[in-house]
């Protein structure tokens, strides 16, 4: 929209100056008039989003090409109407059209559009060049067409190179995302959660910043798969992931540990607070069915990092607490702190 506004202002200023210096003509007035009409219309369309940006860009490209082609044809073939058109500035502006064409998102589309526009200018020029090579504008016309062809080739080379670089960046980014993301739930996968735990262990060792984890899974998940099918089971896992996020903070990290088992890492969070949050999570999940009318419950195992811990010992304690929650009836949160089982906090 900024370019459209600037183009409109530039056209108005140029027209005014030409009128002041007596260099205008009927043809030039028509060209400037079209510019002053076209740019505001495109500005409003882009501003109100009446058409897609791609359509607006194509319309601007075709309009600029059409105006240049018309002026070129009038100057070469109709001196009476095109006498006031100076070919040299016009020929200097035509290569800008190709630069503009290569700002389009698809570099192959840019190449096709540029070649089509060049073909139009070649078609306009050929009859003029065929008459005689001694005509006044032959040399400059040939130079313009040659420079245009070279410019298009250079622009395509650089745009295709840039396109390959972008694809490489996207590929690397996508591979990194896939390596750290669970395909079903779109949560962090076990590999990524292991990295986060290792990072938090490092912070605890260096700065004493404690953290806690919640290990939880769906009670009787096999029954869900057997009764409703694996499709419903997958939907349940996805819904559980979304439901769990309702209870967590932005700084907490939720990931799928494997199967129907999930893990939450809570930085700067003590054991008692984490145990309360796990109990609240049990209540929140059981309150409303995740998928359809079949409600599920979860069991949670909670622990907090202690001096001398490793990632394995931390996870083993959480797993032990989860096992105890299962043994005591499920749909509950249990915790283990420094090897000691904490009394049951909550039963839903």
Find, among 249, 276, 246, 261, the residue nearest to 193 by Cα. Answer: 261
Q: What share of the chain is helix, strand, coil (3-state, %, to 5)?
A: 65, 15, 20
What confidence tier does 325 reach under pLDDT thresholds 50, 70, 90?
very high
Return all residues near 305 (Cβ < 8 A) that are at least 6 apart.
200, 201, 204, 210, 211, 212, 314
pLDDT attached to residue 343: 43
> How would residue 175 be classed by pLDDT, with cut points 50, 70 and 90?
low
pLDDT in tens, 22-73: 766 777 778 778 878 887 888 888 788 888 888 888 888 898 899 889 888 8
Confidence at residue 46, expressed as pLDDT on a 0 to 100 scale: 79
Q: How confident is the model at residue 346 (pLDDT cuts 50, 70, 90)?
A: very low
Q: Residue 135 pLDDT > 80, yes or no?
A: no
Residue of 341, 196, 203 whose CA lies nearest to 257: 196
Q: Give start-end residues of each CATH 3.30.70.270 domain in the chain.
A: 190-347
Q: What pLDDT, in 10s, does the model give residues 245-281? A: 999 999 999 999 999 999 999 999 999 999 999 999 9
Report, as an integer, the average pLDDT of 103-119: 88
User: CB-based contacts of 144: which residues, under 8 Å, 6+ apart?
Assistant: 91, 94, 95, 121
pLDDT single digits (tens) 226-239: 999 999 999 999 99
- pTM (2 decimals)? 0.55
DSSP codes, 174-201: HHHHHHHB-TTT-SB-HHHHHHHHHHHH
260 is catalytic: yes
**3.30.70.270, 3.40.50.620, 3.40.50.300, 3.40.440.10: CATH of 190-347:** 3.30.70.270
Could you tell me which residues come within 8 angstroms of residue 238 by beta carbon, excluding any fewer than 6 positions away? 184, 185
The Cα–Cα gap between 84 and 304 comes to: 84
Among the listed residues 228, 206, 203, the one whose alpha carbon sits nearest the alpha carbon of residue 218: 228
Tokens matching residue 226 = 């057997």
Confidence of residue 204 (pLDDT cuts 50, 70, 90): very high
Catalytic residue among 260, 261, 272, 334: 260
Report which of 213, 10, 200, 205 is spatially closest to residue 93, judged by C-alpha positions. 10
Average confidence (pLDDT) over 168-192:
81
The H or E element that residue 229 is part of is: none
DSSP 294: B
- Per-residue confidence band for 5, with pLDDT thresholds at 50, 70 and 90: confident
The pLDDT of residue 345: 44
The tokens 């283990």 sit on which residue?
336
Mean pLDDT of the chain: 86
Up-side HSE of residue 319: CA atoms within 13 Å toward CB? Answer: 9
Cα(253)–Cα(251) distance, rounded to whole angstroms? 7
- The phi, psi pair for 15, rounded to 5°, reads -65, -45
């Amino acid at each position: 929209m900024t370019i459209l506004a600037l183009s409109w202002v530039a056209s108005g200023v140029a027209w005014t100056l030409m009128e002041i210096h007596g260099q205008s003509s009927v043809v030039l007035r028509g060209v400037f008039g079209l510019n002053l009409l076209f740019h505001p219309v495109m500005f409003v369309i882009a501003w109100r989003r009446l058409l897609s940006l791609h359509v607006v860009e194509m319309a601007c490209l075709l309009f600029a090409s059409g105006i240049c082609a018309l002026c070129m044809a009038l100057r070469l073939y109709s001196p009476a109407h095109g006498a006031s058109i100076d070919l040299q500035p016009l020929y200097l502006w035509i290569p800008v059209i190709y630069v503009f064409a290569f700002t389009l998102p698809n570099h192959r589309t840019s190449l096709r559009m540029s070649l089509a526009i060049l073909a139009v200018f070649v078609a306009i020029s050929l009859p003029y060049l065929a008459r005689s090579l001694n005509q006044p504008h032959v040399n400059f016309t040939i130079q313009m067409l040659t420079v245009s062809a070279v410019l298009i080739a250079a622009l395509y080379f650089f745009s295709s190179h840039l396109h390959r670089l972008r694809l490489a960046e996207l590929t690397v980014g996508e591979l990194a995302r896939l390596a750290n993301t669970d395909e079903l739930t779109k949560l962090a996968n076990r590999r990524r959660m292991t990295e986060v735990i290792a990072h938090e262990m490092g912070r605890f060792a260096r700065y004493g910043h404690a953290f806690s984890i919640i290990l939880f899974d769906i009670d009787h998940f096999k029954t869900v798969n057997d009764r409703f099918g694996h499709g419903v089971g997958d939907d349940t896992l996805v819904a559980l992931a979304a439901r769990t996020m309702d209870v967590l903070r932005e700084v907490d990290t939720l990931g799928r540990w494997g199967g129907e088992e999930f893990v939450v890492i809570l930085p700067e969070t003590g054991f008692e607070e984490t145990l309360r949050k796990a109990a609240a999570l049990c209540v929140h999940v059981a309150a409303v069915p995740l998928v359809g009318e079949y409600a599920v419950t979860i069991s949670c195992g909670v622990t907090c990092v202690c001096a001398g811990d490793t990632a394995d010992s931390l996870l083993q304690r959480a797993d032990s607490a989860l096992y105890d929650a299962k043994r005591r009836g499920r749909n509950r949160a249990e915790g283990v702190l420094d090897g000691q089982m904490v009394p049951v906090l909550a039963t839903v």
